[in-house]
Amino acid sequence: MTNARLIDSFLEMMSAERGASENTLAAYRRDLTDWGNLIGKKDLLTVGTGSLEGALAGWAKNGLAPSTAARKLSAMKQFCLFLQLEGLRKDNPAHSLRGPKQGRPLPKIMSEADVTALFDAAEKNTSAKGLRMLCLLEILYAGGLRVSELVTLKTTATNRRDNCLMIKGKGGRERLVPLTGAAQRAIMAWLEIRETTLPKNDIAKERAKTFLFPSASKMGHLTRERFAQLLKDLAREADLNAAKISPHVLRHAFATHLLSNGADLRSVQTLLGHADISTTQIYTHVLDERMRELVETKHPLAS
């Protein structure tokens, strides 16, 4: 069996038995293909621990981020375990491997002033695309959604009487996200003209009709990549550094701004859809870092 076929079998298992999303499967495919490219013509059914160690060393030499190397190693460990459980290998050559040491980087965030500037720029555009962009921003910043959760929203998600969105996140976990008044108004304005933005092609229209943000893309909805591009364009219009603005940075801003204004950590964890509160606690470190920087740069006795 070829390496490519082995990877396909693994991904089929991840999809059927673990319900992995398309994004997750695509990430596994990229990582496992990278392993295959680096170990050359070696068969994944016979490759040894030494070859895998060599691949890790090669990535480190080429400057691959420790976090990325750790993710690739995790993919290989799960893949080798799959081969072992399927009886295709007697051992797991990746079992004893350790990834590079890595510090946990603080998330990039935006100031509240920068977020305001972004919204001010969005509100100036009253075209259909402008109303869509403002709606996207309001929902993202109101609820701190992941970009994949945002672009795949169905129109039915906006029909709740409690002015909340029901979001299905990672691992199929559902959570309620309350909407601000501004977000509710932006959704209403967008829904009034949304029908006019549906694809003209019948097949594409059928694919897109259930999504809040329809598109002629093969998925039927606005893609993550397109939204990220539009967000950077908007950042430039707002005279912000577009290189530092992304959908995930806005999600970080949502969490950090809530905490800085007195929200408790458990509530923010629930809103973000984090399974473990330790993931949410990173935002308290951001606040600590900002406070330290403020004292060092603004305090009258700082030297």
- Establish whether 248 is a catalytic residue: yes
Query: Could you say which of 132, 221, 251, 252 is catalytic?
Result: 251
Query: Could you say which of 18, 30, 160, 170 is catalytic?
Result: 170
Backbone angles phi, psi at 185, to 5 degrees: -70, -40
> What's the Cα-to-Cα distance from 46 to each of 2, 93, 110, rounded to whole Å?
12, 9, 48
Q: From 87, 2, 80, select the one nearest 43 (Cα to Cα).
A: 2
- Establish whether 283 is a catalytic residue: yes
- Establish whether 274 is a catalytic residue: yes
- Establish whether 251 is a catalytic residue: yes
Query: 3-state secondary structure string, 22-87?
Result: HHHHHHHHHHHHHHHHHCCCCCCCCCCHHHHHHHHHHHHHCCCCHHHHHHHHHHHHHHHHHHHHCC
Query: Could you say which of 72, 194, 252, 283 is catalytic?
Result: 283
User: Coil, strand or helix: which one is 121?
Assistant: helix
Sign of the torsion angle spanned by Cα atoms 91, 95, 96, 98: positive
Residue 285's region, left for phi above 0, alpha for psi from -120 to 50, else beta, is: alpha
Query: Could you say which of 72, 146, 194, 252 is catalytic?
Result: 146
Radius of gyration of the chain (CA): 23
Question: Where in the sequence numbering do the catalytic residues fall?
Answer: 146, 170, 248, 251, 274, 283
